[in-house]
């Protein structure tokens, strides 16, 4: 049996005693309605919906702890849910159980502007946080594209367009409040910038995808808003030229804030979706942060490097509205690409390689997509060696699905052979469990499994994700 079938076979009805207890505790914030359950049983992956048996909407850590305690007493699975924007089946209820929706946990609890930190409930989204702190002169830079929740971003170790300058959630999470599998509440870390006190439990939970505990509060680093921001867009004669321009820029130590790659298929789709007129060739989108003098200097250096690699149409966007237009189009790329094959579903995958191997990895993946006659697009946060492939498939056509999964498997194998990773930011979820074994080897996976058993001995925390029980 495959992963979905084998786990799904373990699905059991929700105990009536548990249903009544949750209904009494949450009242109108408890639901078994089919529409609500199905909404919480899907994400942006290509999997069919796998709904939970019930959904509760928690408003604070205590309520999450109470819900988990009740589920633990009955051995019922618990799945945390933020905004549902994950891409690898992270929130699907393979064994049924109870989904705990954290979207109503949306309060910014504290902003310590002098210390450049903020503490938020897990349901606060990145856009909400930046809106609430804009008058402080600070901002939170992690930008995965979707307006994801901070709890979900920590749970999946998210990164995004700004990672080349500011890092990922791993580097920007200082402390967590977590509800463990037995319903206890623990705090990991402090607002201090460093510590040598014991095991680093914060890093254990960051990237654990809800399989070790439920993150309910997050303390993150903030950064001063840059004095000046400038964006630039330029087209290249080939994918190799565009990616080699990025490699040269990074190797020169130029501190770009963002650098995004879009292949010609991506550009064509966002032109149609956002009514733009970008040249339908491989494209780089840069952003520079710093002082006005520093930004001008960085941008001129990059323009010179781009020219050496055959770039044309190097255009500046210094006005906020122009930058917003470009980055909005980039963030809408996923939805734009869905229109490349109306009625199809997208298999979205990613990998990350050392930057010196990036051009080779992208070109080989493009060639594979062309050979398989896929409808596809490639985009990437290429400043840190990470790129994404979206393949439009008919999910009811086994041949179509097999071709896409074959491209995915070969891309991962290629990345691993280059000393890269099977996922730079999507996470493991259900879809990349076997690739995780290829990347780390059986002894390391056994160690992860021991960790899972220690934290969650009854296997109720988002079962069927990351490692097999």
Whether residue 330 has pLDDT greater than 90:
no
Whether residue 7 has pLDDT greater than 70:
no
284 - beta bridge partners?
234, 261
Q: Over the stretch 27-50, which tens digit does the pLDDT of each residue have? A: 999 999 999 999 999 988 888 899
pLDDT of 2 reads 56
Contact between 239 and 379 (Cβ < 8 Å): no
Average pLDDT over residues 120-133: 97
List phi, psi (to 5°) of 33. -65, 140
CA of residue 380 relative to chain centroid, distance: 13
pLDDT of 76 reads 98
Q: Over the stretch 159-210, which tens digit does the pLDDT of each residue have? A: 988 889 999 999 999 999 999 999 999 999 999 999 999 999 999 999 999 9
| Six-digit token string for 382 | 């290429």
Whether residue 229 has pLDDT greater than 80:
yes
Whether residue 422 has pLDDT greater than 80:
yes
pLDDT of 9 reads 59
| Six-digit token string for 41 | 């049983």
What's the rounded Cα separation, in Å, for the pair 285 and 340? 22
pLDDT of 42 reads 92
Q: What is the mean pLDDT of the chain?
A: 93
3-state secondary structure of 183: coil
Q: Over the stretch 41-84, which tens digit does the pLDDT of each residue have? A: 998 888 889 999 999 999 999 999 999 999 999 999 999 999 99
**What is the value of pTM for the model shown?**
0.93
Whether residue 340 has pLDDT greater than 90:
no
Contact between 272 and 249 (Cβ < 8 Å): no
Q: Over the stretch 428-457, which tens digit does the pLDDT of each residue have? A: 999 999 999 999 999 999 999 999 999 999
Structural domains in the chain, CATH included, are 3-104 (3.30.43.10), 108-224 (3.30.465.10), 228-324 (3.30.70.3450), 340-427 (3.30.70.2740)
The strand ranges marked E within 113-213 are 117-121, 138-139, 173-179, 185-188
Average pLDDT over residues 324-337: 81
Q: At what angle do helices 358-371 and 398-417 cross, to 10 degrees?
A: 160
Q: Over the stretch 344-396, which tens digit does the pLDDT of each residue have? A: 888 889 999 999 999 999 999 999 999 999 999 999 888 899 999 999 999 88
Contact between 306 and 234 (Cβ < 8 Å): yes
pLDDT of 45 reads 84
CA–CA distance from 357 to each of 415, 425, 455 (Å)? 9, 18, 37
Reported as a pLDDT band with limits 50, 70 and 90, residue 6 is low
Reported as a pLDDT band with limits 50, 70 and 90, residue 123 is very high
Task: Give CA angle at 223 (189, 354), nearest 5°.
Answer: 80
């Amino acid at each position: 049996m495959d992963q979905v079938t084998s786990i799904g076979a373990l699905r059991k009805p929700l105990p009536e005693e548990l249903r009544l207890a949750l209904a009494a505790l949450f009242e109108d914030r408890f639901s078994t309605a089919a529409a609500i359950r199905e909404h919480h049983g899907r994400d942006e992956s290509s999997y069919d919906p796998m709904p939970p048996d019930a959904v509760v909407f928690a408003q604070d850590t205590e309520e999450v702890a109470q819900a988990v305690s009740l589920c633990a007493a009955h051995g019922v699975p618990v799945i945390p849910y933020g905004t549902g924007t994950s891409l690898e089946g992270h929130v699907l209820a393979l064994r049924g159980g109870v989904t705990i929706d954290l979207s109503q946990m949306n309060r910014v609890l504290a902003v310590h502007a002098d210390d450049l930190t903020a503490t938020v409930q897990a349901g606060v989204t990145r856009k909400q946080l930046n809106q609430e702190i804009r008058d402080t002169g600070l901002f939170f830079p992690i930008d995965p594209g979707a307006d994801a929740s901070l709890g979900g971003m920590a749970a999946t170790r998210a990164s995004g367009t700004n990672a080349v300058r500011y890092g990922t959630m791993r580097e920007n999470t200082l402390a967590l409040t977590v509800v463990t599998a037995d319903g206890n509440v623990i705090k990991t870390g402090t607002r201090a910038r460093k510590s040598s006190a014991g095991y680093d439990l914060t890093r254990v939970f960051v990237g654990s995808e809800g399989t070790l505990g439920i993150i309910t509060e997050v303390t993150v680093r903030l950064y001063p808003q840059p004095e000046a921001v400038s964006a630039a867009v330029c087209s290249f004669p080939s994918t190799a030229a565009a990616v080699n321009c990025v490699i040269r820029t990074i190797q020169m130590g130029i501190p770009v804030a963002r650098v995004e790659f879009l292949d010609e298929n991506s550009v064509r789709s966002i032109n149609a979706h956002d009514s733009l007129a970008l040249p339908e060739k491989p494209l780089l989108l840069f952003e520079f942060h710093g002082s006005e003098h520093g930004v001008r200097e960085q941008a001129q250096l990059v323009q010179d490097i781009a020219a050496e690699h055959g770039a044309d149409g190097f255009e500046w966007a210094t006005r906020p509205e122009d930058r917003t237009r470009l980055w909005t189009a980039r963030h809408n790329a996923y939805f734009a690409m869905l229109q490349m094959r109306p009625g199809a579903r997208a298999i979205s995958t990613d990998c990350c390689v050392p930057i010196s191997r990036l051009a080779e990895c992208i070109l080989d993946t493009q060639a594979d997509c062309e050979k398989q006659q896929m409808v596809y697009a490639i985009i990437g946060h290429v400043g840190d060696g990470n790129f994404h492939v979206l393949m439009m498939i008919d999910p009811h056509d086994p041949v179509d699905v097999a071709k896409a999964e074959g491209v995915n498997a070969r891309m991962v194998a290629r990345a691993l052979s280059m000393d890269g990773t099977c996922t730079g930011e999507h996470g493991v979820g259900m879809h990349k469990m076997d690739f995780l074994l290829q990347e780390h080897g059986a002894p390391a996976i056994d160690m992860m499994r021991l960790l899972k058993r220690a934290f969650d001995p009854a296997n109720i925390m988002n079962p069927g994700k990351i490692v097999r029980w």
